[in-house]
Amino acid sequence: MYTYSELRPSDLPNSARYIVTYLKYKHLVECVDSVTFRELVEGTGLSPRTVRKAISLLRDLGLIRIVRDVSHGRRHLYQLNFKKLKAFENSSDRVINPGLYLIDVGIGLRKFMSPKALSVIFNSDIILYTDSIPDQVLDLIPEGTEIYHISKFDKFIQFSNSKVVSILIDSILDEYYAKTIPEHVKSISIITCTSPITYASELLRCGKSCRVIFKRTPIQIQIFSRRSIKHVSGDVVKCLRVELCERDRIYISECSIDNCDNADSDVAYVVYVKVG
């Protein structure tokens, strides 16, 4: 059985590295946690024998998990163990360079986060977060990562020369940090994910009349496209009016939920509600 001390990422055979890359792609881009053996063979183009040998090595290293698919009898599913993967990968093999990264989580659910944002989170040494960050994003942070509240910002910015330091914000709820941090720091990489404003704009462009709820905690996002705001349970934290204007321009303004229009025109509302 192999151990971390015996192998480095660069020492892995090409087949094992290819399978890790494929599983990363499925997880980060397609939001697929587990794949079957057949999908591994077809997705990588490797022979079944080569895939079996690579799986055996990766399993010994603890880099993949093998679980039984209860819905299909004896079939097994394969998934990356990101927490062990981070411990296995050292700085020389990293694709994320040391520095300071500001990540706007947007909708704040994994399927709406960009591959770059997820990659930075998985490779961060230190992560700072605001009170607006949903639990679903914090749950993505691997074990071993140092996690601190944004109030510790000045203390840890000095480490960005040698480590990957990430700051997680929700730019709509954290307007202060979204504005002041880039002004305060000369060298910072800004990464954005799908915003609820963008999502609402696309609903308007498609002519959709609907209500969409993003079930994140503790602050939920509800979008009302071309329809009245009804049945909002919980404390409203913020309400934005998104209007589709001439030449496909978007006008955004903050409003009170009590003064919303009937939304029978090119208008959508993005409502942040504290639940629980």
* pLDDT tens, position by position, 77-97: 999 887 777 666 653 445 688
Structure tokens at 16: 């094992």
Mean pLDDT, to the nearest integer, of 231-250? 87
Q: State yes or no: pLDDT of 195 exceeds 50.
A: yes
Can you give the pLDDT at residue 227?
A: 79
Q: Of 31, 20, 16, 142, which Cα lies nearest the Cα of 82?
A: 142
The angle subtended at Cα 35 by Cα 32 and Cα 40, nearest 5°, is: 125
Say if residues 166 and 130 touch (Cβ distance below 8 Å).
no
Radius of gyration of the chain (CA): 22
DSSP assignments along 84-121, one per residue? HHHHH--GGG-SSPSEEEEEE-TT-SGGGS-HHHHHHH
Instruction: Please give the pLDDT value at position 191.
Output: 94
How high is the pLDDT of residue 2?
46
- Contact criterion met (CB below 8 Å) for 208 and 244: no
| Domain 9-87: CATH class, spelled out | mainly alpha
Kindly report the pTM of this predicted structure: 0.71
Interatomic CA distance for residues 165 and 188, integer angstroms:
10
The pLDDT tens digits of the residues spanning 5-56 come to 445 566 678 888 888 888 888 887 777 889 999 999 998 888 999 999 999 9
* pLDDT at res. 91: 37
Q: What residue ranges of the chain are covered by domains with CATH 3.40.1010.10?
A: 94-194
Using a 10 angstrom Cβ sphere, with 0-12 exposed, 13-18 middle and 19 or more buried, the burial of residue 94 is middle
The CA distance from 116 to 174, in Å, is 21
261: Cα within 13 Å, side-chain hemisphere: 15
Alpha carbon dihedral 108, 114, 116, 121, in 10-degree steps, equals: 20
The per-residue pLDDT for range 172-185, each reduced to its tens digit, is 999 999 999 888 88
Burial code (b: 16+ CB inside 10 Å, e: under 16) for 38-59 equals eebbebbebeeebbeebbebbb
Reported as a pLDDT band with limits 50, 70 and 90, residue 190 is very high
Q: Is the pLDDT of residue 104 over 50?
A: yes
Q: Is 94-194 a domain of CATH 3.40.1010.10?
A: yes
Q: Mean pLDDT, to the nearest integer, of 118-145? A: 92
Residue labelled with tokens 């202060």: 176
Q: Locate 87 and state its tokens.
A: 């411990």
CA 220 and chain centroid, separation: 16
Partners of 77 in the β-ladder: 36, 67
Per-residue pLDDT, 177: 93
Q: Where in the chain is the domain with CATH 1.10.10.10?
A: 9-87
